[in-house]
Structure 1
Amino acid sequence: MTIEAQIKQLRDELNDYNYKYYVLDQSEISDFEFDMKLKTLQDLEAKHPEFYDVNSPTNRVGGTITKNFNTVVHDYRMYSLDNSYSKDDLLAWEQRVKKMVDGDVSYTCELKYDGASISLTYENGVLTKAVTRGDGVQGDEVTSNIKTIKSVPLTLKGDFPEKFDIRGEIVLPFDGFNKMNEERIEIGEEPYRNPRNTASGSLKLQDSSEVAKRPLECLLYTIVGRNLNIQSQIEGLQKARDWGFKVPNAAKLVHSIDDVFEFIEYWDVHRHDLPYETDGVVIKVNSFQHQEELGYTAKAPRWAIAYKFKAEQVSTRLNEITYQVGRTGAITPVANLEPVELAGTTVKRASLHNADQIAKLDIREGDEVFVEKGGEIIPKIIAVDLTQRPSDSKPTEYITHCPECNTALVRQDGEAQHYCPNYNGCKPQIIGRIQHFISRKAMDIDGLGGETVALLVNEGLICNYSDLYQLTKADVLPLERMAEKSADNLINGIEQSKQVPFERVLYALGIRYVGETVAKKLVKHFKYVDAIAEATEEDLVNVDEIGVKIAKSVVAFFQSEENRLIIERLKGFGLRLEISEEALANQTDTLAGKVFVVSGVFARVSRDELKKMIEDNGGKIGSSISSKTSFVVAGDKMGPSKRTKAEALGIHVLTEDDFLIMVNKS
C-alpha cells in the first residue's frame, strides 16, 4: 500500500470512529487504540506534507491562533423566534397559521437547547465556514474553533447538496461542564457560571487548541440553501443524520395542536433527565411549502414559535430603586438586588418597567421579592413576600424629575412610562440617540462603539449624530485607549457609512416608534426625506400599516427646528436621504391600490422575487384572501380551498405567466 493510500485509510477510519462515538454514541475501539492510530497518522503527515488535508482528523486537536475574528454576512439571515409561555399563545399562533395556509398542517416539535447558535457552510461535502449568529445578519467566523468539535463532521457522506448551510447549537453537556469546574477549583480558579455562557465564550477563544480541550457538542436542527430537494423539516432532520450530523432524536412529527401540547407536557418533566441545558420546545410548520407561504415578520418566521418552560424563581432583598433614562427620554425604574444565583447567573438588577407595575405589586425598598428570568433571559420581579416586609416600610414614591437633568417628567394619556422632555439637553438621551444611530442595523459604523460615543459626548466633541461627520483623526487620537489604527478605523467607518441606504438612515434617526419595518414603508411611499418631513398626520396615516401614534411621532420629530437643521447637515455630509435613481427607475405605480395574495410554488421567479415585483410596482402583499384582495397569484400546489374562496369572492386568479405579462406590460 502506498503512503498516500495509508494516510487516506487512516483518515477514513478515524473519521468513522469519531462519527460512531460522538454522533451515534457507539464505541468500537478503545481510547488507547484510537490515540495510537491518530499518532501514526500525525507521524505520516509530518513526514509527507505533500498529502496535507485541511480536514484531516489530526486538525481536530487545534493549534490555530486567531487574533481577530472576521465579520461575515450570512448568506441566509438567522432569524430570532417568537416566544410563547402558555397554551393560549400557541392556540393563537395555530389560528394565524391556519388562516394563511391551505389544507391540513403538520408540525415538527423539537427541544430548544440552550447554547450558542452557529451556522455551518458545506461545499461539495466539505466544511468551509462556521459563523456565529451575531445579530442574525452577520456574525464572526470561528471555523478553526468549530473544527475541534468532534460531533461536527469535516466531510459528509451520502447524497448531499452541492452547497448548503446547516444551523445548530453549540452546547456543553453537564458532565463535561462539571468536570471542567472540578479542575478549575482544584487549581484555585473561579468555576464557570453555567454551560451556556461557557459554550458561547469557547467559540471566541483565540487558541483553537484550548477549544479542543473543552467537551463541546454541536446539535443541528435546520438546513437552508437552494436546490436542496427536501420537502419538509422532519425530512431535513433525517437527511442531516444520514450525512453525518448529530441531530437530537427527540424531534417528533405531529398532526395537531393537541399532539404539540402532549410533547410539551412530556418534556417539561423529562427535560431534567437530558445531558444538556434546554429551556423549551420549538414548534415548526413541517411543510417547506407552507413555511414559504407563511414567510417572515421583520424579526421572526411566522411558521415557527418557541414555547418556553416555566422560569426558575428565587427570592432576594430589594436594596434600592434607581431610575434610568433611555434615548427616547423614557424613564425605567430598576431594582438593585442583593446578588442571587438564578438560572446559572448572578442577578443583581431587575427592571421594574414603570410606575404602574410598582404600584400594582406594591414594591418597596427593603422588601423580600421573588425574581424570575422572563424567558430565562431578563430578570424581573413577579411578587413581594409581604410576610417579611419591615414594619417601618413606606410605599414607593415615583420620581417627579429626571434623575440626570432634573427636568420635570411628563406622562401622556394612555402611556405607561414617564418621559423626560429635555430632548436636546439631557445627556443620556443624547448619548443613547447617537449609540442607536451607529448600531449595526442602522448606520453600522465600524470602529465606533457605545463607550466611545459616551466619551465623545462627555469630551464635548459631539452634541448630536451629525457632528460625527466633522470629526477628524486629530480630534479622536487624544481619547482614552485610542491608538493610531483605532483612530483611522473610526474615521474610515464614519466615511463609509455615507453609503448606507435611505431606509437604514431613516431608522438611524431614532424617531420614536419608527423601527426597521416602518422606516422601509415610509421610504417606499415618500421616496425623499423632504417629502416625509412635509407630510401631515393624514398623509402618514394613509401609508400602509402606519397608525396615528406613529404619524404623530413623525410629525413631531420634523417640526423640531433642531432636527431639521441636523437633517440638512446630514444631507450636506452626503448621507443617502432619498431613494437612489437606480432604485427609482425600477419602481412604478402601475399596481397602486391593488392587493395581491401569493400562493403556491413558482417556476420562473422565486416567491420573494415575485413579491418584490408587486411592491416595486406599487402593489401591496396580503397575507390571506379576503374581500380586500384584488388578485391571487397562483403557483403550483396552491391549495384548492384558496382557489374556491377566491372564486366565491369574485377575485381574479392569475398564473405566474399572467402576472409577469401584467408587470412587463407596465
Structure 2
Amino acid sequence: MTTVTADENSYVEDPPTDFDPVEELTEEAAAEQAEQLREAIRYHDYRYYVENDPAIADRTYDALFTRLQDLEDAFDVRTEDSPTRRVGGEPLDELDTVEHVAPMLSIDSGGEAEDVREFDRRVRRSVGDDVTYVCEPKFDGLSVEVVYEDGEYVRAATRGDGYEGDDVTENVRTIASVPHRLRGDYPDYLVLRGEVHIPEDAFRRLNRERVERGEDPFANPRNAAAGTLRQLDPSVTAGRPLDVFFFDVLDSSYDFDSHWEQHETLPEWGLRVNDRSERTDDIEDALDYRDRLMADRPDLNYEIDGTVIKVDDLDTCAELGTTERHYRWAYAYKFPARSEVTTITDITVQVGRTGRLTPVALLDPVDVGGVTVSRASLHNPEEIAEMNVGVGDEVKVERAGDVIPYVAEVVEKRAEDHYEFPEECPVCESAVEFDGPMAYCTGGLACDAQLRRAVEYYASEDGLDIEGLGGERVDQLIDAGLIEDSLADLYRIEEADLTDLEGWGETSARNLLDELDDSRHPRLREFLSAIGIPKVGPATAADLAREFGELDAVRSASRERLESVDGIGPKVADQIAEFFDSPENERVIDDLLDAVGPLETSSETETDDELAGLTFVFTGSLADYTRSDAQELVEDHGANATSSVSGNTDYLVAGDSPGQTKLDAAEENDVPVLDGVEAFERLLAERGIER
C-alpha cells in the first residue's frame, strides 16, 4: 500500500471547505472523489490517534466524513474498508463465539515491590542475567484480539476465557482508532492484543448526556466499555466513545525479535500504542517506573490499575513459557486500591440465593476514584468483629480492583461497640448458621429472599430462559401467595390467578403460562443450571450432564466422583455434594420433578442416537451456528462435544478462522477434519439429521 501524501491528495493538508453538489457529479467523478476522501480520512485518523498531532480542525474532519457518506449514499461507491462503516452495520441476533488464534492468558500480579523482585529472580534463575524488561501501563479496560489479513481488518473478539471469546467484529469496526486498513509496509498476517477503553473526558461527557436524557449514568469507564462492546446493535457501539491501545502481537507473518520492536513498529502500520511505555534492564528501575506512573495517574485520560513488566526478548519469553493461565515472562505490579474516608450511617444484611448473609454498610456518599459510593461490603461477621466496626464509625472505603467498594478499616471509632450480627435471618427469622467466617439463613426456600432469587435465577437465561418472569413479576407472584416455598409452585399457577393481579391481562397471562409449559421438559444440563446449585452455571452443568447422563447419578455422586469430572475442583465438588445432601433441597427437587419431568437426555431418547459413540470438537466460527448451538446439536443426537482434540476425537469441525493448535492436534492424532459448515451438515444429513 502507498502512504498518502499532500502531493497525491489535496484533501490531506488543504481540505476544501465546500464541494460541488453531489447531483452534479458523474459516477466516475464520485468514485474518484470518494477514494480521495477515504485516503484523507485515514491519514487524519493516523495523525490524530497515532501521532497525537491533528493537522485539521474537528469541523473540517467532520465535513470530509459527511461528504464521503453523501457520495456513498448517492452512488454505488462504498468499499468494505471505508471509514463510514464506523457508523455501524445491521443489528445482530447474538454474539457468536470464536476461538482465538493464540491463547490470551492473564498476567500474574501482586501489590508489593518484593513480589516483583521475586518475579525478577525467577526469570534470571531460568534464563540468566541478560534480561531487559518493557514496562507499560496496565489498562483497566477490556482486552480484545484484532486480526488483519493483507492489511485489511477482518475480525475482532473479546478475551473471553482466554481461548474463546465473543465475536465483536462489527462493534470494533466502529472504533475510530482501529484502522480498517494498515499503512506502510505491513505484514500479510497480523493478530494483535489491545485494550478497549473509554477515555476519562469522553466518559464524563457520555454520563452527562445520559443524565440529561433521564437515563442512569454508567458506574465507571470499564463497565461502560464492556457493555458497549457487547451490544448487538453496532450503531449503538458507534455512538459511544470507545478507544483502543495495542500492546502485544499474538501472531504475525512478520518476525519480531522483541516486545519493544513491536511497540516501535505498530505505529508505522497505523496502530496506536501508549506513549508511556519504557524499556529497562534493572528491576529497580521498573519499580521506579511504577511509582512515577502512579503519581501521574490522576492526570491521565484513561483508567489504569497498575503497570505490566514483561521480558523484552521474544525468544526468552518462549523459553520461559506459560502456566495454564499465566505468562511466565510478565508480571503486573498493581496500584493500591483507591480509597476515601466517610461515615457509616447504617448496616444491613442481604440474603443471597444460596442463603448466604452478607453485611452491607450504608454510607454518606463519597467519591472514590470518580465513582460515587453509598454502599460497601463488610465481607462477613468475622471481618466486622476483627475491624470492630459499627454504625457511626468513620471508615476508609476502597474499591477492590478499582471496582467493588468495601470497608477497609476504621479511621475513627465513634460507635460504642462493633455491629452485632443477627442470630435470625432479617427476612424470615429463621436461625442463622455459621460456617467458618460465613453466615447462612437456614430457612431455604421458606425464606422470601432466597425464594425470590431462586425463582429469578430459575427463569433467567442461565436457567430455563422463561420470558416474562423478571424480578418485578416474581415479586408480585410471591407477594400474592402464588409462589410459596417451591419452584414447582410456578407450574400450579392458573390463568385466573394472574388476571386477578394488577397489570395482567388475558394475553400476558396466557403468554407466561405457555412459556412455563414449554419449560416442562428441560434438558438435563439446563435443569442442573436452573436449580441454583452454588458455583454451577451453564458450562459446569453441561459438564455434569455429559459425565453422568442422568440426574440421579449426579445427585448420588460422591465428592471424589464429582471432583474427577474435568473442570470441577474440590471446592465446587463440595458445593454440589452439599447441595444434594440437603433435605430441603431434596424436597424442592422432588416436588419440581413432578412438574417438569422427565428430563431430556441423549441416553434416554432412542430416536436421538444417530451420532451415538462419536466425539466432536469445534474450532472457528460456523455460519448460522453459535458454538453452543453446534455442540447442543450433536449432543442431542447422542454424541459428545469436547473442547480439545485427542486420540478419542472422531471429528474436528473447522469453521472460519480455525485455531491452529486444534488443527495440528487433529493431524497428529489422525482425526478427520470437516472443513466448514457445508461438510458438517453433509455428515449430519448422511446420518439422517436435518437441522
TM-score (norm 2): 0.67
**Deviation, structure 1 residue 139:** 5.8
Q: In the alignment, which residue of structure 1 is the partner of 2:77?
A: 51
- Counterpart mapping for 1:424-573 below 5 A: 424-437=445-458, 449-460=470-481, 464-465=486-487, 495=518, 502=525, 505-512=527-534, 526-537=548-559, 539-540=561-562, 546-547=569-570, 550-551=573-574, 554=577, 557-558=580-581, 560=583, 561-565=586-590, 568-569=593-594, 572-573=597-598
- Counterpart mapping for 1:230-309 below 5 A: 240-251=266-277, 261-282=287-308, 290=318, 294=322, 296=324, 306-309=332-335
Q: In the alignment, which residue of structure 1 is the partner of 2:374?
A: 348
**Deviation, structure 1 residue 515:** 6.6
**Deviation, structure 1 residue 359:** 0.7
**Deviation, structure 1 residue 337:** 0.9
Contact 1:71 1:140 in 2 (8 A): no
**Deviation, structure 1 residue 372:** 1.1
For residue 96 of structure 2, the aligned residue among 55, 73, 81 is 73
Q: In the alignment, which residue of structure 2 is the partner of 1:337?
A: 363
Q: In the alignment, which residue of structure 2 is the partner of 1:21?
A: 48
Q: Distance in 2 between matches of 1:52 and 1:658?
A: 42
Alpha-carbon displacement from aligned partner over 1:79-119 (angstroms, at most 9, x marks no partner): 87776333465578789999999999987643222346666
Q: In the alignment, which residue of structure 2 is the partner of 1:6?
A: 33
Task: Name the aligned partner's letter for residue 396 of structure 1.
Answer: Y
Q: In the alignment, which residue of structure 1 is the partner of 2:424?
A: 401
Alpha-carbon displacement from aligned partner over 1:326-366 (angstroms, at most 9, x marks no partner): 12211111111111111111111111111111111110111
Alpha-carbon displacement from aligned partner over 1:192-218 (angstroms, at most 9, x marks no partner): 886556666776999989987876532
Contact 2:89 2:170 in 1 (8 A): no
Secondary structure of 1:530's match? Answer: helix
Contact 1:472 1:491 in 2 (8 A): no
Instruction: Quickly say closer, same or farther: Cα 1:498–1:282, change in 2 above 3 A.
Output: farther
Task: Name the aligned partner's letter for residue 532 of structure 2.
Answer: G
Instruction: Quickly say closer, same or farther: Cα 1:473–1:375, change in 2 above 3 A.
Output: farther
Instruction: Quickly say closer, same or farther: Cα 1:660–1:355, change in 2 above 3 A.
Output: same
Instruction: Quickly say closer, same or farther: Cα 1:369–1:130, change in 2 above 3 A.
Output: same
Q: Distance in 1 between matches of 2:595 and 2:107?
A: 36
Q: Distance in 2 between matches of 1:487 and 1:23?
A: 57
Q: In the alignment, which residue of structure 2 is the partner of 1:585?
A: 613
Q: Distance in 2 between matches of 1:30 and 1:139?
A: 36
Q: Distance in 2 between matches of 1:24 and 1:611?
A: 43
CA RMSD, aligned part only? 5.6
Q: Tell me the percent identity.
A: 31
**Which sits farther off after the overlay, 273-282 or 33-42?**
33-42
Secondary structure of 1:8's match? Answer: helix
Alpha-carbon displacement from aligned partner over 1:99-150 (angstroms, at most 9, x marks no partner): 9999999876432223466665656654566677799977696946x55543
Contact 2:524 2:550 in 1 (8 A): no
Q: In the alignment, which residue of structure 2 is the partner of 1:417?
A: 438
Task: Name the aligned partner's letter for residue 599 of structure 2.
Answer: G
Q: Distance in 1 between matches of 2:259 and 2:595?
A: 47
Q: In the alignment, which residue of structure 1 is the partner of 2:197?
A: 170
- Counterpart mapping for 1:165-244 below 5 A: 167-174=194-201, 176=202, 216-221=242-247, 240-244=266-270
Q: Distance in 1 between matches of 2:114 and 2:138?
A: 20
Alpha-carbon displacement from aligned partner over 1:560-588 (angstroms, at most 9, x marks no partner): 33155157458725344979968872479
- Counterpart mapping for 1:93-108 below 5 A: none
Aligned residues: 595
Instruction: Quickly say closer, same or farther: Cα 1:403–1:133, change in 2 above 3 A.
Output: farther
Q: In the alignment, which residue of structure 2 is the partner of 1:643?
A: none
**Deviation, structure 1 residue 383:** 1.5
**Deviation, structure 1 residue 550:** 3.6
**Deviation, structure 1 residue 243:** 3.7
Q: Distance in 2 between matches of 1:313 and 1:656?
A: 49
For residue 343 of structure 2, the aligned residue among 304, 317, 327 is 317
Secondary structure of 2:441's match? Answer: coil
For residue 613 of structure 1, the aligned residue among 627, 634, 646 is 646
TM-score (norm 1): 0.69
- Counterpart mapping for 1:569-648 below 5 A: 569=594, 572-576=597-601, 585-586=613-614, 612-613=645-646
Task: Name the aligned partner's letter for residue 562 of structure 1.
Answer: R
Contact 1:321 1:333 in 2 (8 A): yes
Task: Name the aligned partner's letter for residue 42 of structure 2.
Answer: N
Q: Distance in 1 between matches of 2:252 and 2:239?
A: 36
Q: Distance in 2 between matches of 1:41 and 1:336?
A: 53
Q: Distance in 1 between matches of 2:499 and 2:234?
A: 34
Secondary structure of 2:47's match? Answer: helix
**Which sits farther off after the overlay, 9-18 or 147-156?**
147-156
**Deviation, structure 1 residue 53:** 3.4
Task: Name the aligned partner's letter for residue 15 of structure 1.
Answer: R
For structure 1, the 5+ residue unaligned runs are: 589-607, 618-634, 637-654
Instruction: Quickly say closer, same or farther: Cα 1:610–1:321, change in 2 above 3 A.
Output: closer
Q: Distance in 1 between matches of 2:570 and 2:335?
A: 35
Secondary structure of 2:390's match? Answer: coil
Instruction: Quickly say closer, same or farther: Cα 1:213–1:486, change in 2 above 3 A.
Output: farther
Task: Name the aligned partner's letter for residue 294 of structure 2.
Answer: D
Alpha-carbon displacement from aligned partner over 1:45-64 (angstroms, at most 9, x marks no partner): 45x5121336434565x4x6
Secondary structure of 2:385's match? Answer: helix
**Deviation, structure 1 residue 272:** 3.8
Q: In the alignment, which residue of structure 2 is the partner of 1:593?
A: none
Task: Name the aligned partner's letter for residue 385 of structure 1.
Answer: V
Q: Does residue 399 of structure 2 align to residue 373 of structure 1?
A: yes
Instruction: Quickly say closer, same or farther: Cα 1:487–1:612, change in 2 above 3 A.
Output: farther
Q: Distance in 2 between matches of 1:426 and 1:164?
A: 52
**Deviation, structure 1 residue 403:** 0.7
**Deviation, structure 1 residue 324:** 1.0
**Deviation, structure 1 residue 180:** 7.4
Contact 1:117 1:169 in 2 (8 A): yes
Q: Distance in 1 between matches of 2:500 and 2:114?
A: 57
Instruction: Quickly say closer, same or farther: Cα 1:27–1:344, change in 2 above 3 A.
Output: closer
Instruction: Quickly say closer, same or farther: Cα 1:187–1:531, change in 2 above 3 A.
Output: closer
**Deviation, structure 1 residue 377:** 0.9
Secondary structure of 1:51's match? Answer: coil
Task: Name the aligned partner's letter for residue 250 of structure 1.
Answer: R
Contact 2:645 2:665 in 1 (8 A): no
Contact 1:116 1:200 in 2 (8 A): yes
Alpha-carbon displacement from aligned partner over 1:497-534 (angstroms, at most 9, x marks no partner): 977673x6545443345577876775565454322323
Q: In the alignment, which residue of structure 2 is the partner of 1:389?
A: 414
Instruction: Quickly say closer, same or farther: Cα 1:496–1:100, change in 2 above 3 A.
Output: farther
Contact 1:112 1:281 in 2 (8 A): yes
